[in-house]
């Protein structure tokens, strides 16, 4: 089937980077986010074209140039401003929708709200193309699991490759001036949610299709996001699980032209700014990104979340000191070509940043390990004291995400004590379910994928695959919360289903439960258990 033209490649790019695929209605929904109504351009010093930044201490807007340091009142500066919502809708209706509808039989429609515009692409009149699309997307249902298809990698030409990447920029590319490099040089970035492998695919594609440099990658990994274990010892143990960001200097990316109008204009503004100031500086190549670990400087502290099931299998249990190591593990032609890596020297390169190492290799690994373990112990000690002195403060209200970890610990114990089994317990809202690999649960995981919103915490016993669900709230429980839990439970039929809040039940729900006690039931014999979370313990209501 020969579908690979510019338009199809663009559509495929949208689906890979931000698509949700609905087989039943033969459609793909694509998100275009615009969190705030307005977005501002770069604040430039009129004297020397340097960047003006806000000081965190004083709140003043000051020129970054050490010789200038002038303080500005924002009103006297000519800062560009875009209405993101309007620009996104206009671009979708006038540019992107007509382009997609030029493909045989495809229809589009637009829905959304103040924070997101969603383009629905309806394939009902071209079933063949839809089946082909499903195949290319490897039958994945959301952008959290998609990869760049081989069709693009192996058969793309310059034109189709450019259009594919334009689509990536339109959906998950950003040109916010706040994400500049330390010296003030502007960076564009691609933000990939919950999909480390797609992040690696995009980096590889930029290299193999265009030979373009990337400045750095902020991978969603505990050693990288939470190097000093602030989240770990703080309120959010899994706070390291953020979006991945590929950062690049836009002046090298001129071949691309986003179709979302404000992104296009913001990119142009960044290019102009950088060319005015930084053209003499060469791009950041991988050679510079890879710093050998031999001198044992900056070894990261060990992080217990290195074993998290949120990490892809290849990375689980691996300690990471530098971002490029993740590329080595996941497979990076950029690095492999540069250093002639193969299966024999890959591992040594991962550990050392060098292709060969003398006979002190084992000693080196040992030293590295003990440094990172000692750093962990130091941080642990430091934070123990902190908790003691701040214990009064911790009574403040929890966020919903902060309840997930204590609930996971509680559920594991509860299953062990009451069902005599070890279990896999995870928070399903942010865990990439494709990473969970233990035999016999594929079908269960498939069913979870059908929910738009997932139960917060899920437990599955190792012995007979019994399922446990927790829906967690930090507000007074309402009938709406209960209905959601009942909904999951009717589909999944868990061994136990819990609705747990840090607050009491609302008076209205209490009343309803008294009048209609059957609303708790999700089958003939089982009902949802309602509890309250306090000091990491759950107390159940007698209902
Ligand atoms: Zn200045």
CA of 52 to the centre of ligand 1 (A): 8
Q: What is the structure's pLDDT at 501? A: 93
CA of 273 to the centre of ligand 1 (A): 14
CA of 164 to the centre of ligand 1 (A): 39
**3-class secondary structure, 203:** helix
CA of 253 to the centre of ligand 1 (A): 27
Among 6, 39, 37, smallest CA distance to 174 is for 39
Q: What is the structure's pLDDT at 394? A: 44
CA of 47 to the centre of ligand 1 (A): 5
CA of 50 to the centre of ligand 1 (A): 6
CA of 73 to the centre of ligand 1 (A): 13
CA of 215 to the centre of ligand 1 (A): 26
Chain mean position to CA 342 = 29
CATH class given for the domain over 400-540? alpha beta
Q: What is the structure's pLDDT at 391? A: 41
Distance CA 200, CA 323 (A): 11
**Measured distance between the N- and C-terminal CA atoms of the chain, rounded to whole angstroms:** 60
**Which ranges constitute the DSSP H helices of 420-531?**
442-449, 479-492, 507-515
CA of 69 to the centre of ligand 1 (A): 6
CA of 36 to the centre of ligand 1 (A): 29
CA of 528 to the centre of ligand 1 (A): 63
Q: Is the dihedral of CA 486, 491, 493, 496 positive or negative?
A: negative
CA of 72 to the centre of ligand 1 (A): 10
CA of 276 to the centre of ligand 1 (A): 14
CA of 42 to the centre of ligand 1 (A): 14
CA of 522 to the centre of ligand 1 (A): 66
pLDDT tens track, the chain, 543 positions: 578 999 999 999 999 999 999 888 899 999 999 988 999 999 999 999 999 998 877 888 999 898 999 999 888 888 999 999 999 999 999 999 999 999 999 999 998 888 889 999 999 999 999 999 999 999 998 899 999 999 999 999 999 999 999 999 999 999 999 899 888 899 999 999 989 999 999 999 999 999 999 999 999 999 999 999 999 998 788 889 989 999 999 999 999 999 999 999 999 999 999 998 877 666 656 677 888 898 888 899 999 999 998 999 999 999 999 999 999 999 999 999 999 999 999 999 999 999 988 889 999 999 999 999 999 999 999 888 765 444 444 445 678 878 888 999 999 999 999 999 999 998 887 777 777 777 777 777 777 766 666 789 999 998 888 999 999 999 888 888 999 899 889 888 899 999 999 988 887 787 788 778 889 999 999 999 999 998 889 999 887
Instruction: Determine whether 365 is exposed, middle or buried from the number of CB atoms within 10 Å of its CB (0-12, 13-18, 19+).
Output: middle
Q: What is the structure's pLDDT at 281? A: 67
CA of 177 to the centre of ligand 1 (A): 17
Residue 244 · residue 217 · CB < 8 Å: yes
Backbone angles phi, psi at 491, to 5 degrees: -80, -50
Q: What is the structure's pLDDT at 106? A: 98
CA of 508 to the centre of ligand 1 (A): 61
Q: What is the structure's pLDDT at 450? A: 66
CA of 278 to the centre of ligand 1 (A): 15
Map out the domains of the chain as residue ranges: 291-392, 400-540
CA of 67 to the centre of ligand 1 (A): 8
**3-class secondary structure, 216:** strand
Sheet with 244-248: strands ordered across: 173-174, 188-192, 244-248, 216-218
CA of 78 to the centre of ligand 1 (A): 14
**3-class secondary structure, 466:** coil
């Amino acid at each position: 089937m020969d579908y690979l033209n510019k338009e199809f490649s663009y559509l495929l790019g949208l689906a890979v980077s931000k698509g949700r695929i609905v087989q039943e209605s033969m459609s793909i929904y694509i998100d275009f986010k615009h969190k705030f109504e307005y977005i501002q351009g770069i604040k430039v010093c009129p004297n020397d074209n340097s960047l003006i930044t806000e000081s965190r201490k004083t709140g003043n807007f000051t020129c970054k140039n050490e010789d200038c340091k002038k303080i500005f009142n924002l009103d006297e500066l000519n800062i560009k401003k875009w209405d993101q919502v309007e620009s996104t809708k206009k671009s979708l209706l006038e540019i992107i929708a007509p382009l997609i509808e030029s493909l045989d039989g495809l229809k589009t429609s637009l829905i959304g709200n103040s924070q997101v515009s969603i383009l629905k692409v309806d394939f009902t009149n071209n079933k063949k193309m839809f089946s082909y699309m499903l195949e290319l997307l490897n039958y994945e249902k959301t952008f959290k699991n998609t990869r760049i298809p081989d069709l693009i990698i192996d058969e793309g030409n310059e034109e189709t490759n450019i259009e594919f990447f334009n689509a990536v920029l339109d959906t998950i590319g950003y040109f916010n001036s706040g994400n500049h490099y330390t010296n003030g040089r502007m960076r564009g970035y691609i933000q990939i949610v919950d999909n480390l492998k797609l992040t690696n695919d995009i980096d590889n594609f930029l290299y193999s299709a265009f030979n373009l440099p990337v400045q750095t990658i902020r991978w969603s990994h505990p050693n990288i996001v939470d190097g000093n274990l602030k989240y770990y010892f703080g309120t959010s143990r899994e706070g390291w699980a953020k979006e991945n960001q590929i950062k690049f200097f836009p002046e090298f990316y001129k071949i691309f032209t986003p179709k979302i109008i404000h992104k296009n204009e913001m990119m142009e503004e960044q290019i102009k700014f950088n060319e005015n100031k930084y053209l003499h500086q060469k791009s950041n190549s991988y050679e510079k990104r890879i710093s050998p670990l031999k001198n044992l400087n900056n070894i990261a502290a060990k992080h217990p979340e290195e074993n998290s099931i949120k990490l892809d299998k290849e990375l689980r249990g691996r300690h990471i000191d530098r971002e490029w190591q993740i590329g080595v593990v996941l497979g990076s032609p950029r690095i492999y070509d540069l250093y002639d890596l193969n299966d024999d020297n890959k591992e040594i390169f991962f550990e050392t940043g060098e292709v060969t190492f003398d006979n002190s290799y084992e000693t080196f690994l040992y030293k590295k390990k003990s440094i990172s373990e000692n750093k962990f112990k130091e941080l642990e000690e430091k934070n123990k004291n902190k908790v003691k002195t701040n214990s009064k403060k911790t009574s403040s209200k929890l966020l919903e995400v902060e309840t997930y970890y204590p609930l996971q610990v509680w559920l594991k114990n509860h299953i062990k004590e009451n069902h005599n089994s070890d279990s896999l317990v995870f928070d399903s809202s942010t865990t990439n379910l494709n990473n969970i690999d233990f035999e016999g649960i594929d079908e269960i995981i498939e069913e979870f994928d059908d929910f738009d919103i997932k139960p917060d915490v899920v437990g599955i016993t190792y012995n007979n695959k019994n399922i446990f669900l927790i829906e967690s709230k930090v507000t007074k429980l309402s009938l709406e919360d209960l209905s959601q839990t009942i909904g999951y439970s009717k589909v999944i039929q868990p061994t136990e289903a819990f609705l747990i809040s840090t607050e009491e039940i609302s008076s209205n729900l209490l009343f309803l439960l008294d009048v209609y006690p059957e609303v708790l039931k999700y089958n003939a014999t089982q009902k949802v258990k309602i509890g309250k979370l306090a000091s990491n313990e759950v107390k159940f209501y007698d209902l």
